[in-house]
Structure 1
Amino acid sequence: MPPAPVPASGDGLDRAKLLAARYKAAEARPYLASALYALTVVPSRRVGTMAVDRRWRCYVAPAFVDATGVGELAGTWIHEAAHLLRDHHGRADLLPAADRHDRLRVNIAQDCEINDDLLADGLRLPPGIVEPRLFGLPAGRLFEEYLKDVPASCPHPPDCGSGAHGLPAPWDLGESGATDGVGPVEAEALRRSTAQAVRAHARTRGTVPAGWKRWADEVLEPAVDWRRALAGAVREAAAWAGGAVDYTYRRPSRRTAALGGRVVLPSLRRPLPRVAVVVDTSGSMGDDDLAAALAEVTGVLREVGAGGNRVTVLACDAAVRAVARVSAVEQVELAGGGGTDMAAGVRAALAVPDPPNIVVVLTDGHTPWPPEPVSARLIAALIGPDAPEPPPWAETVRVPAPR
């Protein structure tokens, strides 16, 4: 595609140097050329170094360009393009609310995901960049995996803009900015064309880093977005449960005053949904499967407003081994290791004094189920590609096992 337009001069930005660095980056990594040239340059003295927004506008600090060599600028171009190619802002939108609004930690985790690949690829980056080894973390992970281990402070806190962490930045032009940028449909087309270029380059030259190969495979052969599917299923069930109403005299209706206090009318009450999570802890479930799936479900439940002590977690193999009302995944005890009977876990979840509206069952599917529909809405989160189908009256979400 043709290069994106460059704003007029007069802002102190050394365009010749900046664009020479982009040319160098595209020449060194030709499979990224389309993405690099799709970025629109926007000079800004408000940004620290370089940053991007959701519309593929690249905000550049003139002072940063002056102080940085062409080689390091080329690496920075690729770094910023990687945020957009990997859809970091879209993935950040799916994080639990508490994590999503912590832009510093999200950005650090995202930089860890990118920079380990770029450094392994031999690219030069400016001093002070963030990489996993600074925090004692292994390379090769996704930013969602790094996030839980990223500290709240960092010696060189990055801000790569709303195209990375997803939150508005002070320098953003917004939707009505002077430069239109790239829309969502064109952005997705750019990701696919870049992924195809990565594959073609790997076939003909065999020099594409493993991180980019994995990314291309995920773009061109996407797995089901189970996190979004599970979030949608739980939100729908929560809305259904939260829609139930009852009458209460604890808070009289506002219409009581119109009757002169002679008659007290009840008001309508809309209760919060009660949620139970039944976790299969039988011998066929690995620790990584349990930890990954439970962490995701905990985030979804927190997102739909069922946090605090309203989430009951039951560990179950052939029988229920542990029951706890939790507000964080660290409070869960995953006892078990024997046979499998999720029907027992569902019965136990429904037998508590204040039974749930929603029951989420995390299992590999090799289990008996209740013989008929239960009184709560049941969501079966099936872990692994070979999990057999649950009963047709259960809602099903398939969860890929961790690699």
Structure 2
Amino acid sequence: MIETATARRRVGDWAGACAALFALHPVESRRVPTMAVDRHWRCYVSPAFVDATPVEELAGAWVHEVSHLLRDHHGRSDRVARERGVNGPGERLRMNIAADCEINDDIYGDGLPRPEDVVLPGTLGLHSGELMEDYLRQFRLGPYTRGMVWLDCGSGADGLERAWDLGPDGAHGLSEQERDAVRFRVAQGITARPGNAPKGWRRWAEEAFHPPQPWRELLGAALRSAVSGSGAGDDYSYGRPARRSAGVPGAVLPSLRRTPPRVSVVIDTSGSVSDAELGSALLEVAAISRAVGGRRDMVSVVSCDAAAGQVRRLCRAEGIPLTGGGGTDLRTGFAKALASRPRPDVVVVLTDGQTPWPGTRPPCRTVVGLFPRAQASWDEDDPDHIPDTPPDWARVVTIGAAPGAR
């Protein structure tokens, strides 16, 4: 494997790649057409392919294979297979092609020679710079992909195990923690020298350091935590006497019963909130209704910009009028929600955060869903103005950050 070691040195200056290349363990295999990787960071290499390929092209193939692992193409392919119900060899080949389109436009052309048969987005008539999942929606296997049936980057590219894989218990595999450590080290190298890395890799490195939050799960967890706390939705009932009544002859004591919590959702409808974000807010209202057991009568909605609208009980999320479009002062929304009777157990606020907040903690739990903003809003009358951040007594979740991939 002297040529492979030379290929490692050949790409050692490529931003951050060296740590990943040296973490990849080569395995000689005559069953592999060219090179292939598994999810445990082994690279299976055909001796015949190495003999027939110039070292410069081996360098590109080496970076290509390790890129599949860095970008978690096997994990992402498995998720696509589960979500779309596709798992045959043909679909996995399509995933391999889409994964190649994602990485090849980033790794070739910067000192790495491009092989003649390399798969690029332009080969399929697609735009460069997109993700594997995007490419999968834009092409199908057909006559124009017939020349790609030889493509096989292994289970590390499409998630489907191969006959040559050594598996999780085989020699020289990396544990999940070791794989994450390699990814972090590569991302660190890229961010330290961003000028040397292609744009796609800089984007990947940024997300490796700051992975997007699964905001829907976080918002749901915050709501469940708020409604399950003591006092939320609790009330005494004589419908089923307390067991301790037996110890008090002649008296019937009520038992503490759990009832669905009342939730009031305050939606920011100011001019700084887009129509798409308002649509997202309505989706969250429907999800909140499901979180409280489907009791729509327990969920109310208040639209608010500088002034609060009416408190409306939930019938259908899409039927809620969201009026506004002016400035922002959600304090009026809080006041309107808390003044409603019966009073809510939980207040959920969906906003971009560019608002004054109540000066005191409301008498119920509060969850804030924040629409992301790249920077603070600029006020023409007060250029130094920075909107207040949500107060410490609120549980804050950033909305709209989908789990990253690239």
TM exceeds 0.5?
yes
Match of 2:121 in 1: 131
1:36 correspondence with 2:21? yes
The 1-side partners of 2:75 and 2:300 are apart by 30
Q: CA offset at residue 93 of structure 1?
A: 8.7
Equivalent positions of 1:95-134 (< 5 A) are 98=83, 110-121=99-110, 123=112, 124-125=114-115, 127=117, 129-131=119-121, 134=124
> Pick from 172, 175, 179: which aligns with 1:183?
175
Deviation string 1:7-43 (CA, Å, 9 cap, x unpaired) is xxxxxxxx566x2673464357385233213211235
1:284 correspondence with 2:272? yes
CA contact (8 A) 1:92 1:100 kept: no
Q: CA offset at residue 78 of structure 1?
A: 0.7
The 2-side partners of 1:228 and 1:336 are apart by 29
1:367–1:32: structure 2 CA closer, same or farther, 3 Å change rule? same
The 2-side partners of 1:92 and 1:389 are apart by 38
The 2-side partners of 1:64 and 1:332 are apart by 63
Mark the runs of 5 or more structure 2 residues left unpaired by the alignment. Answer: 235-257, 377-386
> Pick from 115, 134, 147: which aligns with 1:147?
134
Deviation string 1:44-80 (CA, Å, 9 cap, x unpaired) is 6776754433321123467766786654443221122
Match of 1:378 in 2: 367
The 2-side partners of 1:43 and 1:272 are apart by 62
1:216–1:42: structure 2 CA closer, same or farther, 3 Å change rule? same
> Pick from 235, 258, 265: which aligns with 2:221?
235
Mark the runs of 5 or more structure 1 residues left unpaired by the alignment. Answer: 1-14, 247-269
Higher relative contact order (CA closer than 8 Å, sequence separation 6+):
2
Match of 1:82 in 2: 67
Amino acid paired to 2:389: E
Match of 1:396 in 2: 396
TM-score, L = length of structure 2: 0.56
SS in 1 for 2:11: helix
Equivalent positions of 1:257-296 (< 5 A) are 280-285=268-273, 290=277, 294=280
CA contact (8 A) 1:230 1:381 kept: no
The 1-side partners of 2:118 and 2:102 are apart by 16
Q: CA offset at residue 135 of structure 1?
A: 5.7
Match of 2:245 in 1: none
CA contact (8 A) 2:357 2:391 kept: no
The 2-side partners of 1:48 and 1:333 are apart by 60
The 1-side partners of 2:259 and 2:48 are apart by 55
The 2-side partners of 1:315 and 1:238 are apart by 23
Amino acid paired to 2:24: L
Deviation string 1:101-126 (CA, Å, 9 cap, x unpaired) is 88857666654442221235353146
Identity %: 39
Match of 1:169 in 2: 161
Amino acid paired to 2:69: L
Match of 2:7 in 1: 22
Deviation string 1:352-403 (CA, Å, 9 cap, x unpaired) is xxx998946242342556976487762422523546332444211346999x
The 1-side partners of 2:268 and 2:125 are apart by 33
The 2-side partners of 1:59 and 1:129 are apart by 20
Equivalent positions of 1:260-339 (< 5 A) are 280-285=268-273, 290=277, 294=280, 317=305, 337-339=325-327
The 1-side partners of 2:275 and 2:100 are apart by 28
1:54–1:343: structure 2 CA closer, same or farther, 3 Å change rule? farther
Amino acid paired to 2:67: A
SS in 2 for 1:227: coil
CA contact (8 A) 1:65 1:73 kept: yes
Amino acid paired to 1:209: P
Q: Number of residues paired by the alignment?
A: 344
The 2-side partners of 1:48 and 1:242 are apart by 56
